A = this chain, B = another copy of it.
Amino acid sequence: MTTKTLVPTEVHAQVQHFYAHQMQALDSLRFEDYAATFTEDGSFQHSPQAEPAVTRAGIVRELVEFHKRFDGDPVQRRHWFTHVALQPQPDGSYASTVYALVVTTRPGGTPVIAPSCVVHDVLEVTDGEVLTRSRLVTHDQMFQ
């Protein structure tokens, strides 16, 4: 590894800001907004065992389905990110590897932190606009 990566500083800063808006959309249950942060043919796989959801419409359907488990269970989930590490790909996209924690709070409760995940994204960055082409989330408690 050379410690000097070949990623423009500006791209790293743009990606951080992109993730802030993207994940606040998800945690606010604005699924259309979240899906709009993917490319039209984007792919979202929330665990290695899951079928990937593809296209923006498919991602919205997946999220609606997933969140049915919280019907009648008021809960605020928040996705924490740290260490956004980018690697340029031959086609001009960026591989992005990010640590994620899910923080869940219920009324009157204290936050529960689980699981510890790693987000593996492929990002397209054009003129400061970032889109997620694909996302695979791995989970630390599932050892290979």
Contacts and interface: CB of A to CB of B under 8 A. Distances in A.
A10 interface: yes
Interface string A107-128: 1111101111000000000011
Interface residues of A, number: 58
A101 interface: yes
Q: Which applies to chain A's interface (DSSP): helix, strand, loop or mixed? A: mixed
Contact of A143 (B7, B76, B110, B127): B76
Contact of A36 (B1, B23, B78, B109): B1
Interface of A: 1, 3-5, 7, 9-10, 12-14, 16-25, 30, 33, 36-37, 74, 76, 78, 80-86, 97, 99, 101, 103, 105-111, 113-116, 127-131, 140-143
